[in-house]
Amino acid sequence: MVKNHTANFQPVIHWLNNKEEKMYYILVKYYYHRGTYGARKNGPMSHPVYEDKYEFETLEEAKEHLKENGITWKVSNQTYQYEGNYTLFHGEYQRPSYQIRKVRRKNV
């Protein structure tokens, strides 16, 4: 009689299938007075033309992207804002904040 050895490997295969890939994105939060017409919406930082969400493999890549765009003032652990003078848009009461966050997806 032949033994079924694949039963011993099921936990390993299950672990490999559920392995999570860590990626990072930048969440943009805008501060507008209630009812402001044309206020920008909070959400992930995206390409201005193609509207694709920017994703980064490492935290350092996300920080470098913010730095390239002039967002260098560190407010808290992973939250940044523009440094220096910032001109508010119509209805805006504070400069936007940029938070670096993790994205978790299961590998297929």
Domain count within the chain: 1
The tens-digit pLDDT sequence of the chain (108 residues) is 444 444 444 444 444 444 456 799 999 999 999 999 999 999 999 888 888 889 999 999 999 999 999 999 999 989 999 998 999 999 999 999 999 999 877 665
- Residue partners of 97: CB distance under 8 A and separation at least 6: 28, 29, 31, 75, 79, 80, 81
Residue 3 within any structural domain of the chain: no
**84 falls within a domain:** yes
Classify 38 in phi/psi space as left (phi over 0), alpha (psi -120 to 50) or beta. Answer: left
Q: Which domain holds residue 97?
A: 21-106
Tell whether 4 is covered by a domain. no
pTM given for the model: 0.73
Give strand pairing partners of 47.
none
Q: Is residue 15 part of a domain?
A: no
- Residue 9 falls within a domain, yes or no? no
Burial of 85 (0-12, 13-18, 19+ CB in 10 A): exposed
In a domain, 64, yes or no: yes
